[in-house]
Every structure is written in C-alpha cells, then in structure tokens.
C-alpha cells in the first residue's frame, strides 16, 4: 500500500475537521486571511511541553499583532487537554487562550507528517507556518528533548510579511544580520542588462548580492 504523501512547503494546508478545547474547528477555512502556526507536542502533562505552552501563551498578543493565530495538537484526548490547561492556569498562573486539537486517532498527525515512526507513536514537536492564503510557508521539526524558541517563530512571521511587502528576500538573523543589519535582499538579476544596472540602483557587494532599506 502506497504511503500517503506528507504536507510540504508550498502545499495548501489540507482540509481538516478537528475537535479542540474550543470546540470543533475547520482547517484551513476558519483561519483564512490570517497567518497560522499549527504545532504539535508529544504529550500533555510533560515538562518540556508545559514550558512550551506557557511560552507560546506569553507571546500570544505579539502573535496576534502580526495577524497570527496559534493552534496546538497532540494525540491526547480532549479531556486530557482540558485538564492540562486547567492545571497550567491553576499552578502556573497562565491561561491558555488558543485551541488544542485532540487527535486521539492520530489520523490528522499522520496526514500532516507529525508522527515519525523512528521516534515512537507520539507526535514530534512539529510546526507548520501557514499564510493567509492557506499555503504552507515553513515546516520545522524538533526532537522530544528540545523545546522550541517562540521568538524565532515571531521573527519568521514578521520576516515573511516584510519580505512580501518589499518583494525581497530576508538575510540570516534578520533584523540583525551581520552584513546588512535590518535591510532586505534584492532578488538577483535574471538577465545581463539588469545585472549591469544593479550596482547603480542598489547598494551591492556584487550584482547578485544587493540590498535596500525595508519598508515595514
């Protein structure tokens, strides 16, 4: 039997109906027009996952300022999710305001590529970043023993948005790049004529590496 193809960068997020701590949701329909971070965690009531959910929640307002919503997921049942978020609120003084999908059959996780057989039957720490047109723009995987950096996801969302606005690419460590700081990279010329004009139009290291101030 042929293995089902996993979601890749550039794909549309598959249509999914899911039960969550906030009731039933429909992906991607309920989030069209917004950026979405859809992320899985290995299990409720585990230490690293608990620190991650607190970290996501502490930055939830920052995500919303970037027109971005969060949706969590694991193969635990919804009752476990509800009790876990209650525990987090009661013991860590943090109310989890975003929904968590209860994928107790594992079907959603398998469809999205969130279960890696060599790492067991639980979901890995996976992240899908989906744009307002429901296109998957980035996919990240982390092992069970390593918690994620939520500030990097904020940086990625902002970089995607600034890059699109400026029709430009984004350098390493933006907005603190070692060469061009918070400037953006001009797409390389695709013909000889444009290549010759590049150094006149922009600041460049060479015609294929030019940069400009970013409009934010």
Residues known to be catalytic: 49
Residue 214's contacts (CB-CB under 8 Å, 6 or more residues apart) are 162, 165, 166, 168, 182, 183, 184
61-75 exposure pattern, b = at least 16 Cβ within 10 A, e = fewer: eebeeeebbbbbbbb
- Chain-centroid distance of CA 151 in Å reads 11
Tell me the Ramachandran region of residue 23: left when phi exceeds 0, alpha when psi lies from -120 to 50, beta otherwise: left
Strand partners, 169: 185
> What letter would DSSP give residue 2?
P
- Distance, in Å, from the CA atom of 66 to the CA atom of 74, rounded to the nearest integer, reads 25
């Amino acid at each position: 039997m042929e293995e089902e193809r996993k979601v890749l960068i550039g794909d549309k997020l598959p249509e999914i109906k899911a039960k969550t701590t906030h009731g039933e949701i429909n992906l991607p329909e309920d989030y069209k027009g917004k950026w979405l971070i859809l992320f899985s965690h290995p299990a409720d009531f585990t230490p690293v996952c608990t620190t991650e959910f607190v970290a996501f929640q502490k930055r939830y307002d920052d995500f919303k300022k970037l027109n971005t919503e969060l949706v969590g997921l694991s193969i635990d049942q919804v009752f476990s999710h509800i009790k876990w978020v209650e525990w987090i609120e009661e013991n860590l003084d943090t109310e989890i305001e975003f929904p968590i999908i209860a994928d107790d059959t594992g079907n959603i996780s398998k469809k999205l590529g969130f279960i890696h057989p060599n790492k067991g039957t639980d979901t890995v720490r996976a992240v899908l970043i989906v744009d307002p047109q429901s296109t998957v723009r980035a996919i990240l995987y982390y092992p069970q023993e390593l918690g994620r950096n939520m500030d990097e996801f904020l940086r990625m969302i902002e970089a995607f948005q600034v890059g699109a606005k400026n029709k430009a690419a984004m350098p390493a460590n933006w907005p603190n790049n070692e060469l061009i700081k918070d400037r953006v990279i001009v797409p390389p010329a695709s013909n000889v004529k444009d290549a010759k004009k590049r150094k006149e139009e922009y600041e460049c290291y060479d015609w294929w590496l030019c940069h400009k101030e970013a409009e934010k």
